[in-house]
Amino acid sequence: MKKRIAIFASGSGSNAQKLMEHFKRNTEVEVALVLTNNPDAYVLQRADSFEIPSHIFDKQEFYKTDNIIDLLKNLDIDLIVLAGFLWLIPKNLIQEYPGRIVNIHPAILPKFGGKGMYGDFVHKAVMEANETEGGITIHYVDENYDEGEYIYQAKYKIEKGDNLEMIKFKGQQLEHLHYPKVVETIIKKIKK
């Protein structure tokens, strides 16, 4: 029986797409569901093109009910992967999936993490701090933003002339290269 991943995303879903591509022909692991809090998220079209079912939810459903947990359990989800998902994960979901929720952050944590630090906000903060390196952190999710145990970090060099788009591009290259491989390593260790 295949191990099953649920991806949570709030926006475009480029990392979600890389995960879907990576596991498309995998005989042991599949992306079984894409969930979003944004009915206009492009990730829904990406999921559709891979014929992966999706679920749209609101704050009420996410924080005040067990509907999401019930859905994940009914689909026999083994690992939750956050790919540009911007809401804090509720305690009941973390308790249901201990050590089985991972996230990717577009900086070398603990720098440039926390509430409100996502996407371009992170890249701008890195630029304004005159950092010579940027990077990514793949980490487990706990009840606080970006404080879960680190799984993997990778860095890139920031050159003098790099603008926001260049820094963002370098970071995304690392995300797309490493996230699917790290997720595969993690899920293979999970006992079915």
Tell me the catalytic residues.
105
**Could you tell me if residue 59 is left (phi over 0), alpha (psi between -120 and 50 degrees) or otherwise beta?**
alpha
Could you give the 3-state DSSP secondary structure of residue 114?
coil
Distance CA 73, CA 96 (A): 9
Cα 84 to Cα 11, 45, 118, 172: the distances in Å are 7, 15, 8, 12
Please name the residue ranges forming H helices in the chain.
14-23, 43-49, 59-64, 67-74, 91-96, 119-128, 164-189
The tokens of 61 are what? 């459903």
Q: Which of 56, 59, 3 is nearest to 27 (CA)?
A: 3
Could you give the 3-state DSSP secondary structure of residue 6?
strand
Output DSSP code: residue 88: P
Could you give the 3-state DSSP secondary structure of residue 192?
coil
The tokens of 34 are what? 């894409």
